[in-house]
Chains A and B, each alone.
Chain A
């Protein structure tokens, strides 16, 4: 029997796992028949943890120690605007780690984000092993197409910490397209609109039978269902403040209850026109208990969130432009992600593409199913399908004068490699600093710095004479490697760019050892 490979959709709010059975992918259910797992981790004072539904259920009473939406933080820089935003909106504490990475402070300990995601992945692995009654080690994990190098690297690290061999990090919309077109011998151009809990992606693919070619991808890694929830929270909290002169967001428990209520109200409004948010004893103001009871209409929600949806539509337009396609060229539109259940999202997508989205795709499960398909095909003697995916950002290096010289253009098919010869700018210069940049601007300062290293011991010479060859490569996981070589001395240096991934090798190893230990303990206890 071929080796089992898990297809894991590690989502911002929910995760899902699938495997292949023969030629059909299947979602693995948990006890109780759940098909998705909340990506929530809660800690107890003794540092033991809970993951999934039980963690989510106890969130209200343990808000400060319950971590959700780790995906919005993974692989980011503590000083980035996204982390800043998160610090303001979550009840748990985010602090700065040793490498400018965000870490989560719980019961006196700082947890790297990778470790939080690893706990979710470990739970997923356990679910799969229980459902299949065998040990599984291999996995394909999905990430938003618009994830940067650092975010991919960090996600892969989380997999390794959880004891998984990560065969591939694959883009979520690509995986969904795979689930849509696998073994159907299609000749179609499809657009995958993926609006999940935390991120938005649009990918345009050309499917020719068993070849899946991504023509272009675009997105926003900080635009998803959580932002819709946030709009409701602010709306309700504002009304409450007007009435009672008290900001509910100051009360952590109230905020957590309101967050849960906002999410469920949002979901209900996809099928009804009106719903009620009812939170008795939500808080106490000057010793007096206050209740929150308000009705919310679908039109309210639509008015609050229309700008978010319009933003996604704008990004769809730019993806088509990059693919050099007209709207009419798209044969099918696929909707993925829980947020695409919202009627206004469906309506706006339909209006933009002039098409009713395909019906035979499950918005919560397609991504995991596609990952499982990819996992199985990779393990076969000869891969029966071909994925031609692209890199979402341009990559370059900083050159004299503060400019950015692009080496790999965005939407280049991966894996890819590219090299360029640079030189020194002053006489007798012995070293050059290589700064790796990601982004589309011509100015280095407008792009984000992925990492840097210095090539030293260049033989002394006049400015412009030494030849330094800088090579970039992006592997099939979308992970970047950069090397620089002095052509004369043949001295070479290379790095896997990890500036934002922030776990050193030792640290990662240490963590996976700890996990293994706890794994052993777990098995002994259950005997």
Chain B
């Protein structure tokens, strides 16, 4: 990699080898999931751009990840140059010329891409965007392509184009703004990617013996599963293998594939459980039930820093005195991995406080403020400690 900005254009995919990785590298590796654009990876990591790129390079050297070609669908997009002729032609029309050329270009580009883009891409956000980021981007994109934006001008053929684009934007946001629909959509997205559905869906008209059909379907599911496994989408892959086995129990490889997938599925499920626990926590506050959910996750995936942090916090919130030591232990590890997260050090500070180690607590609250200078709670705690 010669120049960092080159790297931003690239895509990276994880490999199955994770030996010899540092905790931070492991964290980075865990963020890769399946393929991902480097520019989308950056916001998922707690480090600066340079640092992340450096770690990524080391990950590749250790053979835990690899560069992949930017996906083929991206390459098929037209570039602005393809439209310069169209725009030149339009410029001869005095009415259209009044419409900003830059704006027309963006409409033409968006229009040509519409069919290929998924909901996230239409809204120009990455798939892990928070609700707030999603909304911000939605408003920005809506404003850009709103049919009212140049109401006073004669839009000509652009009126229809804008209506269509705007309509697609609304549809995309309509799905993604609803957490339940978004989740379902995410699952559909990951199954869709290598499009194994199409070959089976198309020859609908041929009527086959149901048994033969079943065998064919089983094989189809198995292949879909393999593709999903390659994409590291283990949950979907596991389900596909299970379905294949169910349709055609006589083939051992289906069962084997499923068995193999089980531990990975557990890991994947763990991450989902953690997400659910977080949602529950936001809605209902801390409870022992949520804590046991998170500990279940830690049990199957002890390295998950998010779960360590969250379970530590829950122990402290619930005031389970006999387990504060566990909390401290976990938070120490979480803090090391999440080296920029103010929450990790803040919670650790709380743990020290609960253990009566005021010096250490003070240090952690200071660290919190270093990580986030406007952390009010840390400030408050620190003031209290310094008053003593």
Q: Which residues of A contact B (CB under 8 A)?
A: 167, 208, 211, 213, 324, 378-383, 386-388, 412-413, 415-418, 473, 476
| B196 in contact (CB, < 8 A) | no
Candidates B139, B148, B167; contact of A383 at CB < 8 Å: B148
Which residues on B sit within 8 Å (CB–CB) of A324? 178
B-side contacts of A213, CB under 8 Å: 139
Q: Pick the contact of B149: A167, A382, A415 (CB < 8 A).
A: A382
A167 to B148, CA, bound (A): 11
Given A416-B167, A416-B170, A417-B167, A386-B178 contact (CB < 8 Å) = no
Check A386–B148 contact: CB distance below 8 A. Answer: yes
Q: Kindly state whether residue B174 has any CB partner on chain A within 8 Å.
A: yes
Residues of B contacting A387 in the complex (Cβ-Cβ under 8 angstroms): 148
- Whether a CB of chain A sits under 8 angstroms from the CB of B214 is no
- Complex Cα gap A379–B150 (Å): 9
B47 neighbours in A (Cβ, 8 Å): none
The 4 closest A-B pairs by CB, nearest first: A413-B170, A378-B151, A417-B167, A386-B143
A473 pairs with B163, CB closer than 8 A: yes
- Write the chain B residue with the least CB distance to A208: B139
B303 part of interface (Cβ distance < 8 Å): no
Q: Most B CB atoms within 10 A — which of A208, A324, A415? A: A415
Q: A211-B143, A324-B178, A415-B163 are in contact. Are A383 and B151 (CB under 8 A)?
A: yes
What is the bound-complex CA distance between A211 and B142, given in angstroms? 10
Secondary structure at chain B's binding surface: helix, strand, loop or mixed? helix
What distance in Å separates the Cβ of A202 from its nearest Cβ neighbour in chain B?
21
Which of B142, B149, B150, B164 interacts with A417 by CB under 8 Å?
B164
Q: Is B158 an interface residue (CB 8 A)?
A: no
**Contact A412-B139, Cβ < 8 Å, known A380-B152, A382-B150:** no
Contact of B152 among A211, A378, A476 (CB under 8 A): A378
From A379, A388, A412, A473, give the contact of B151 (CB < 8 A).
Answer: A379
Complex Cα distance, B163 from A160, in Å, reads 24
Other contacts beyond A386-B143, A417-B164: 6, CB < 8 A: A386-B139, A387-B148, A415-B163, A415-B166, A416-B166, A473-B163
- Rounded to whole angstroms, the CA-CA distance of A413 and B172 in the bound complex is 12
Q: In chain B, residues 114-167, which have Cβ atoms closer than 8 Å to a Cβ of chain A?
A: 135, 139, 142-143, 146-152, 163-164, 166-167
Q: Cβ of B149 and Cβ of A412 under 8 Å apart?
A: no
CB contacts (< 8 Å) of A386 on chain B: these are 139, 142-143, 146, 148-149
What is the CA–CA distance of A99 and B59 in the complex, to the nearest angstrom?
A: 75
9 A-B pairs whose Cβ atoms sit less than 8 Å apart in the complex: A211-B142, A211-B143, A324-B178, A383-B149, A386-B142, A386-B143, A386-B148, A415-B166, A416-B170
A314 vs B142: C-alpha distance when bound (angstroms): 32
Chain A residues within 8 Å of B151, by CB: 167, 378-379, 383
> How close is A187's CB to chain B, nearest CB, in angstroms?
11
Within 8 A of A (CB), among B151-202: 151-152, 163-164, 166-167, 170, 174, 178
| A412 and B170 form a contact (CB under 8 A) | yes
> In the complex, how many residues of chain B place their beta carbon closer than 8 angstroms to a beta carbon of chain A?
18
How far, in Å, is B22 (CB) from chain A's closest CB? 42
Q: What's the dominant secondary structure at chain A's contact region?
A: strand
Q: Is A381 in contact with B152, judged by CB distance below 8 angstroms? A: yes
Q: What are the residues of chain B within 8 A of A382 when measuring CB–CB?
A: 149-150
In the complex, which residues of chain A have a beta carbon less than 8 angstroms from the beta carbon of B146? 383, 386
Bound-state CA distance A473–B148 (Å) is: 16
Choose from B139, B142, B148, B150 the contact partner of A476 (Cβ within 8 Å): B148
**Alpha-carbon distance A417/B151, docked complex (angstroms):** 19
Residues on the A chain within 8 Å of B150, using CB: 382-383
Bound-complex Cα distance A211 to B135 (A): 11
- Distance, CA A526 to CA B150, complexed state (A): 40
A167 to B170, CA, bound (A): 23
Within the assembled complex, what's the spacing in Å between the Cα atoms of A388 and B169?
A: 12
Closest-by-CB residue of B relative to A473 is: B163
Smallest beta-carbon distance B154→chain A, Å: 13
CB-based nearest B residue for A388: B142
| Residue numbers in B under 8 Å from A415 (CB-CB) | 147, 163, 166-167
For the complex, give the distance between the alpha carbons of A473 and B164 in Å: 10
Give Cα A379 to B152, complex, Å. Answer: 5
Instruction: Specify which chain B residues have a CB less than 8 angstroms from the CB of A379 in the assembled complex.
Output: 151-152
Complex Cα–Cα for A26 and B146 (A): 27
**Bound complex: CA of A387 vs CA of B166, how far in Å?**
13
Least Cβ–Cβ distance between B98 and chain A, in angstroms: 9
Question: Shortest CB–CB separation between residue A461 and chain B, in angstroms?
Answer: 14
| Docked complex Cα distance between A381 and B150 (Å) | 7
Q: Which residues of A contact B170 (CB under 8 A)?
A: 412-413, 416
Nearest CB in chain A: distance from B242 CB, A: 33
Question: Which chain A residues lie closer than 8 Å to B142 at the CB level?
Answer: 211, 386, 388
- Whether A211 pairs with B139 at a CB distance below 8 angstroms is yes
Residues of B within 8 A of A378 (CB): 148, 151-152
Q: In angstroms, how far is the closest chain A Cβ from the Cβ of B97?
A: 14
Chain B positions within 8 Å of A383 at CB level:
146, 148-151
> Which B residues are CB-close (under 8 A) to A208?
135, 139
Q: In this complex, what residue of B is CB-closest to A379?
A: B152
| A382→B148 CA distance, assembly (Å) | 9
For the complex, give the distance between the alpha carbons of A415 and B142 in Å: 11
Also in contact, A417 and B163, with CB within 8 A (given A386-B142, A388-B142, A412-B174): yes
Which residue of chain B has the shortest Cβ distance to A378 in the bound complex?
B151
Q: B239: shortest Cβ distance to chain A, in Å?
A: 30
In the assembled complex, the Cα of A412 lies from the Cα of B166 at a distance in Å of 12
Q: Which of B293-329 contact A (CB under 8 A)?
A: none
Residue of A nearest to B140 (CB): A211
Cα–Cα distance between A263 and B146 once the two chains are bound (Å) = 44
Tell me the complex Cα distance, A413–B152, Å. 21
Bound-complex Cα distance A383 to B164 (A): 19
* B311 to A: closest C-beta gap in Å: 29
Instruction: Name which residue of chain B comes closest to A167, CB basis.
Output: B151
Q: How far is the CA of A211 from the CA of B148 in the complex (A)?
A: 12
Chain A residue numbers with a CB within 8 Å of B163 are 415, 417, 473
Separation of A64 and B146 alpha carbons in the complex (Å): 48
Give every chain A residue within 8 A of B152 (Cβ-Cβ).
378-381
Q: How far is the CB of B294 from chain A (nearest CB, A)?
A: 26
Nearest A residue (CB) for B98: A381
Q: How far is the CA of A381 from the CA of B152 in the complex (A)?
A: 7
User: In the complex, what residue of chain B is closest to A374 when comparing beta carbons?
Assistant: B148
- Measured CB to CB, the closest approach of chain A to B50, in angstroms, equals 33
Task: List A contacts of B139 (CB < 8 A).
Answer: 208, 211, 213, 386
A210 → chain B closest CB, angstroms: 8
Q: Which A residues lie within 8 Å of B147 (CB)? A: 415, 476
**Interfacial chain A residues near B166, Cβ < 8 Å:** 415-416
A101 to B150, CA, bound (A): 37
Shortest Cβ distance from residue A248 to the other chain B in the assembled complex, whole angstroms: 51
B151 vs chain A, min Cβ distance (A): 4
**A413 to B147 Cα, complex, angstroms:** 12
Assembled-state Cα–Cα distance A208/B132 (Å): 12
> Closest Cβ of chain B: how far from A50's Cβ, in Å?
36
Instruction: Tell me how far the C-beta of B159 lies from the nearest C-beta in chain A, rounded to whole angstroms.
Output: 10
Chain A residues within an 8 Å CB radius of B143: 211, 386
| C-alpha spacing A42/B152, complex, angstroms | 38
With most chain A CB atoms within 10 A of its CB, the pick from B147, B148, B178 is B148
CA–CA, A213 to B173, complex, Å?
A: 13
Closest to B148 in A: A383
Q: What are the residues of chain B within 8 A of A416 when measuring CB–CB? A: 166-167, 170
CA A388 to CA B164, docked complex, whole Å: 15
Q: How far is the CB of B201 from chain A (nearest CB, A)?
A: 16
Give the distance in Å from the alpha carbon of A386 to the alpha carbon of B162 in the complex. Answer: 14
Which single residue of chain A is at the shortest CB-CB distance from B170? Answer: A413
A329 vs chain B, min Cβ distance (A)? 13
Chain A: minimal CB distance from B252 (Å): 41
Assembly CA distance A466 to B163 (angstroms): 28
Smallest beta-carbon distance A465→chain B, Å: 11
* Distance A509 CA – B259 CA, assembled complex (angstroms): 75
